[in-house]
A and B are shown apart, each in its own frame.
Chain A
Amino acid sequence: MLLDVRDLKVSFDTPDGVVEAVRGLDLRLAAGESVGIVGESGSGKSQSVLALMGLLADNARVSGSATLQTDTGALELIGAKRRVLERIRGARIAMIFQDPMTTLNPHLRIATQIKEVITRHRGLRGRAATKAAIEMLEAVKIPDPARRIRYYPHQFSGGMRQRVMIAMALACEPDILIADEPTTALDVTVQADILDLMAELRQRTNVALLLITHDLGVVAGQCERLLVMRHGEVVERGAIDPIFEAPAHAYTRDLLAAVPKLETPHFARASS
């Protein structure tokens, strides 16, 4: 098992008392597998993955275990030293975020930003790093990558920026890609492009995907298995098809009902 999370709990000390964000998450991810975590805002899905990366706020308390299979054996992520985690982040576990407009540094050329990751984790410098960065942009289908690598983020559209983020995330050939609402901030047509691209890259690189979203439609197209979270707990889990056909938990049924369908006659319903 590539990633094995057992009984992960996250709570925050706030002035108003302890807030429990995640109340016992179990998750297993095999190499190349793709799992969706679905839930509404505040259900603890983002905090769970931040806990895996050791990037929670200072007032967070984490318990449980998360082991990552590496070349040198199993590595416990929870409570690992900062140096160890810095070697894991970006190299073995990479992440893309919701809003590509703000996840790139506006003051640096994208060449600098991609090369920073490549230099840190792959040890390539100068020309070799540039070449690797251009290859990554090519892989995410950015036209004319040799020229555009010199652009600043604000010269790209939202979809293109998300492609840059994906290029940065996959630049070091990670084992696991965590995608936190990767398409939420994008236009619908661009969403489809990005999802297609992610599916294609996943096949080519065999990276395992942990897809966090509130959109069941996205999960259906991308994932093999699904976890539904609510109030920090997993309320339903299993393969995609059975859950979509016969959701066991009332909350999952609500979520499914919330996905707009083409055949739903909106106007008719509004007038009745």
Chain B
Amino acid sequence: MEQAAHGRSLFSDALRRLRSNKAALASIGVLGFIVVAAVVGPWLSPHNYFTQDYGAIWIAPTLADAHWLGTDGLGRDLFVRALEGGRISLMIGFVATLVSLIIGVAYGATAGYAGGRVDGVMMRIVDILYAMPFLFFVILLMVFFGRNILLIFVAIGAINWLDMARIVRGQTLALKQQPFIEAARMSGAPAVSIIARHIVPNLLGVVAVYITLTIPQVILFESFLSFLGLGVAEPATSWGALIKDGADEMGRAPWLLIVPAVFLAATLFCFNFIGDGLRDALDPKDR
């Protein structure tokens, strides 16, 4: 190993390899573009996502009057709505994943490191939660508390941390046997600091890959909820809600379906390619 001027971590090594993966790199570019567009895009248009223009109903994509991607049956501008929906979809994707990441990693690493009876009890709790019919759970939440974005975060986060906890726990069980963990214990490190300083950093690779799988999964799940009419409430929207609306008017105004579907598909593709690239880059066999 050539000695660099200062230390190179395994992670920065992996990033270097990721940079040589063209599909992943392009995906990062496209995804970055979509994120930026979703954040600043709506300001570029003279329209907003909730104002109805009765003089412009079911207009196909046109340059006239700045309805670049057309309008829906209520005369709302699709360009702004698609990007606004992207904001919500991406936000749900990132926030719900972050929630499931924090809970899942803490829970899984604790269970795996503690082992024995503690592990057994903690993982049985996960099994029980797994067995709950979450769609009914979500429907119940919606019925009781009304449709609320925060509730969607909670509902989706509550499902996804289970997977994360299982994966992290499995990795922790394997990591626990590593000599450097034994060495840390031998140097008097208490369990908390071993988990925080020695286990969690070593989970980064697996977790990073899993995150890229979870975000699209969450976005998809939100779309599914929206499609069932359980997602975000009008006039706010998400890609899933837009696709549902578009599907209803597929014959009359196909752009209402195509535009949000393209955004959603492109985003999911990007995450999958990035996940693929990350997995290759972090594969210890290539090190």
Contact = CB atoms under 8 A, between A and B. Distances in A.
Interface of A: 53, 55, 58, 85-91, 94-95, 97-99, 102-109, 112, 116-117, 120-121, 147, 150-152, 154-155, 165, 168-169
B188 A120 contact: yes
Contacts of A168: 187
A120 B183 CA distance: 14
A106 B203 CA distance: 12
Given A55-B182, A102-B178, A107-B201, A152 B9 contact: yes
A152 B9 CA distance: 6
A150 B7 CA distance: 5
10 nearest CB pairs, A to B: A90-B187, A90-B188, A89-B188, A107-B201, A102-B179, A103-B183, A151-B7, A103-B179, A150-B7, A86-B188
B201 A89 contact: no
Q: Which of A87, A88, A102, A165 has the most CB of B within 10 A?
A: A102
Nearest to B116: A58
B198 A105 contact: yes
Nearest to A147: B6
5 contacts: A55-B182, A97-B182, A103-B180, A150-B7, A152-B7
B231 to A, nearest CB: 39
Contacts of B137: none
Interface in B181-204: 182-190, 193, 197-198, 201-202, 204
Given A97-B183, A103-B179, A108 B189 contact: no
Contacts of B188: 85-91, 117, 120-121
A94 B198 CA distance: 19
Given A89-B186, A105-B184, A105-B201, 9 more contacts: A53-B186, A55-B182, A58-B116, A86-B188, A97-B183, A103-B182, A107-B9, A107-B204, A116-B189
A150 B11 contact: no
Nearest to B204: A107
B189 A86 contact: yes
Contacts of B179: 97-99, 102-103
Contacts of A86: 188-190
Nearest to B178: A102
Given A103-B180, A107-B9, A95 B186 contact: yes
B6 to A, nearest CB: 5
A89 B191 CA distance: 13
A108 B196 CA distance: 12
Contacts of B11: 107
A121 B193 CA distance: 14
Given A86-B188, A89-B186, A106 B10 contact: yes
Interface in B1-31: 1, 3-4, 6-11
A155 B2 CA distance: 8
Contacts of A155: 1, 3-4, 7-8
Nearest to A83: B190
A121 B190 CA distance: 12
